[in-house]
A and B are shown apart, each in its own frame.
Chain A
Amino acid sequence: MTEQQTVPLDIRSIGTPHPRVDGVEKVTGRAAYAVEHEVGDVGDPLHAWLVTSRVPKGRIAGIDAGPALAHPGVVSVLDHTNAPHLDDTSNGELAILQDDRVHFHGQVVALVLAETSEAAREGAALVEVRYDEEPFEAELREDNATYRPDQVNPAIETDTDEGDVDAALADAAVVVEQTYRTAYEHNNPLEPHATTAWWRDEDGEPALSLFDSTQGVHGVVSTLAPMLGVEEDQIRVRAPYVGGGFGSKGEAHAHVLAAALAAQVTDGRPVRLAVTRQQMFTLTGYRTATISHFRLGADADGRLTAIEHRVQEQTSAVREFAEQTASPTRMLYAAPNRRTSHRLARLDVAVPSWMRAPGEMPGVFAHEVAMDELAVACGLDPIELRVRNEPETDPETGKPFNDRRLVDCLRRGAERFGWADRPEAPRSTEDGEWWVGTGVAAATYPAMVQPGNQARVRFLGEGRYAVAIGSVDIGTGARTVLTQIAADALGTGPDAIDLEIADSLLPPATVAGGSSGTSSWGGAIVAAAQRFRADHGTEPSPGAETTASAAENPNAEKYAFHSFGAVFAEARVHRWTGEIRVPRLLGVYSVGRIVNPATARSQLVGGLVMGLSAALFEEGVRDPRFGHPVTQDLATYHVAAHADALDVQAEWLDESDERFTPMGSRGIGEIGIVGTAAAVANATYHATGVRVRSIPVTADRFLE
């Protein structure tokens, strides 16, 4: 593979609010999602419906498929006794229908194939599964979250310890020691996870095709191939439209295996499998609840001398996922003494996974409410406290930050929000029957470029270029911004670019996650375009083609690359009912150059809205007696609605980070959710004088 050292782009289309190139398809509903495709002359699709376990742990004693098979329209029932075998069963979450073990409530134990979805659904209800139940544990508590994982997501240190935290705390003029909690949260993209799968014979070899609702088509291929015992080139995954993901479609979950296995027994007919909204609460990942024990020590003027952040949270016994909740604590503020740790309860529960800003979201909530408490304890303005604790270099690595502009974000936000007029004391402002207050919090997210991306540029003649990379647009605007990047990289207009994405037959692309998509894919496109010009000049022949990846960025080892932001919230808390409203929410961000102001604003505002939703509503309730989620639909698991999103605004500093990417951009997908819940919680404290240290912040907390 050709590697190309990129140089910064001449900016023309980048920075302009180019309308979404797929907008018409979306506002008409013509855009086809994973189970909306006609897949050609391979037969009418069969509908699959998953049967899930009703006990949290044990063995399947027997399955009677008879009543289901007798139901008109039901074609077959697959379970562990008759399902095709997988070559690799090491991934306990994905290796379904292979044995009689039940690892959590809601695990796939069978599936029904039928001619219609009605018959499949009824058939699933008729499958009789008997269990030999075993003792289980499904409750996260402080006394059972004691297991120390080898590393935490994605592959970082479990614990850190610098200096002497205990001595510093003993000497500190001011100490804040509190515990903060975040609820179980479920990603809940509006499009449920769904897959269309069909096998065919290709030159005597089986070949699998999928339309999948995924954040990364190549990742699905590399996950499935060894499990199914085929080569990667025998699998093709496409995801032209994906109805949101927020991390939950970042990796293949069990339903994808279910569809691929089911399609092995249909003589080539395609299988359509849509996970139900209820099943999404166990089968597609979620954010663990977190418990953050914080100790902050400071001198009398608010300078931190010690930070301790001990995290407790849960993973699943069947597959480990350790949320890196203390990760941002390692770099957010200066302190000579610092200790962080993660301990898990390994429970008989569904497998937690990525949800927008894993680690940063719950970790910064805890840290930033603790900082608000420290500001109160020191008698300092919360912004001034943060300014006093700015580090000169990255506390975690010792490297210089590249453009750490947290203070600029705080000051710009303060100006726009009218922070100077804020009364210092809480419970100072009444408006009719409402207490009114404001709060602030910092936001941060690491900037990442993922290795392993390639792009292809081909000249089509008449000024047009085909640009291809297998990345996925899950709603972020990738299809649009990559078109703009390609245009600037080739020195042409966006209308001259035919962009192909979302197909694993295209050059490899990494996942749409970790705010790394545009940086990673865009960098590959720039590399291919600049290499194309080196190879073929400015007047190429039609058909001239170059495939390339970006060479490693020489700055990567020199600097600590992070984005920063400041979130401001106004909260109104009703004196008699405790009802909470957030009339104003503002985020100011330092995220490098914005590629497309229209789509970027939507993404940052969307992050703020999801953060508001976490602050006030989202709470997965579980019943430890049975090990299942009680709230498993959108009527009981509340997310923010239109009426909750009042004045929500995002802006960004005018800047460019060409040390990081040739576009000057750094990534914007996650940071909007970071810090938002803390700003809201801090605003409710300022309104009422009642300190709430857990989210969601609910009305009852103000009525005690």
Chain B
Amino acid sequence: MPTVSATGLIIRGTDWSETSRIVTLWTREFGKVRALAKGGRRPRSPFESALDLLTLCSIVLIRKPGGGLDLLTEARAVERFVGLRQSLTGLYAGVYVAELLGDLTQDDDPHATLFEEAVATLTDLTAGTPPRMLRLLRFEMVLLRELGYAPQLEACAGCRGELVPGPGLGFSPAAGGVVCGRCRVPPRGWRRLTPELWLALRQLVDEASWKQVAAAARRELRGLMDGVVTEHLGHRPRSAAYLRDEG
């Protein structure tokens, strides 16, 4: 069976037995991977203490063909994002990143760009700049784009018609983006799209201008993003209730 090396972020961990752990990793090379770490709960294991949530590690895996559980033979922590543990806002934003990576991606479907974005996000969340809520919103936008769920912002997501600014304009997670006045159905999650919110959304998708999103728009964006993520996930993320905006 092939032994491979990879770099991955621990996004889930459960104790499997008195001494072993099952971890889910978001790896650069293979995408989402689930692996058994035998002896992973012992203090002097080949994993040291690299198997904690939100640890970036370099790993050695024995891949099991046919979707079985891989075997983790080595893990060494590369970055622990220690600063995350000093701020509840940062810590739970990090847990939210882990939850989305775990629940929105498929096994063995690598997205190197999304891997880099996740690591960059955790680095920024640790530092606290740009504002953590804005950083998280940008991560979510990149995640949606990478997974093929980018919201439609430039034409009506319902009828593909031109969007005329005005009070009828809205955003619909179910339709997949901005909708015109005639496309208010399906109403699920529909919200009015003010010119400020529309601008903020366009800034958020743009690599060059996402940091310019107005602080006042973040609350509305949070609610909107919550709706979009819930739509794709089929339920609200468990850690969403823990997210805070420090202002």
**A complexed with B:** no
Which residues of A are at the interface with B, using a C-beta cutoff of 8 A? Answer: none
Q: Which residues of B contact A (CB under 8 A)?
A: none
